[in-house]
Amino acid sequence: MMQREIESRAPSPSPVVNGIDRHQRSQREIWRILIVDDDEMVCRVSARMLHKSEVIVAESGAEACRLLEERAPEEIDCVLLDMKMPGLTFEESFEEIRRICPEIPVVACSGNGPESLRDDFTGVSGTGYLAKPFTRVELEEAIGRAVLGPSLNG
Say which residue, 9 or 120, is predicted with more confidence.
120
Strands 78-82 and 32-36 come out as parallel
DSSP E strands in 16-147: the ranges are 32-36, 54-58, 78-82, 106-110, 127-131
Cβ atoms of residues 53 and 6 within 8 Å: no
Cβ atoms of residues 69 and 39 within 8 Å: no
Average pLDDT of every residue of the chain: 80
For the whole model, what pTM was predicted?
0.77
Cβ atoms of residues 76 and 32 within 8 Å: yes
Q: How confident is the model at residue 29 (pLDDT cuts 50, 70, 90)?
A: low
Domains defined along the chain, listed by start: 4-148 (3.40.50.2300)
Is the pLDDT at 11 greater than 60? The verdict is no
Rounded to whole angstroms, how far apart are CA atoms 89 and 123? 19
Of 51, 69, 62, which Cα lies nearest the Cα of 86? 62
Q: pLDDT tens across 36-57, in order?
A: 999 999 999 999 999 989 999 9
Rounded to whole angstroms, how far apart are CA atoms 124 and 137? 24
Gyration radius of the chain over CA positions: 14
Of 55, 99, 48, which Cα lies nearest the Cα of 79? 55
Rounded to whole angstroms, how far apart are CA atoms 78 and 145? 11
Is the pLDDT at 31 greater than 70? The verdict is yes
CA angle at residue 37 from 41 to 95, to 5 degrees? 170
Q: pLDDT tens across 84-127, in order?
A: 999 999 999 999 999 999 999 999 999 877 776 766 676 677 88
Predicted confidence at residue 128, as pLDDT, reads 87
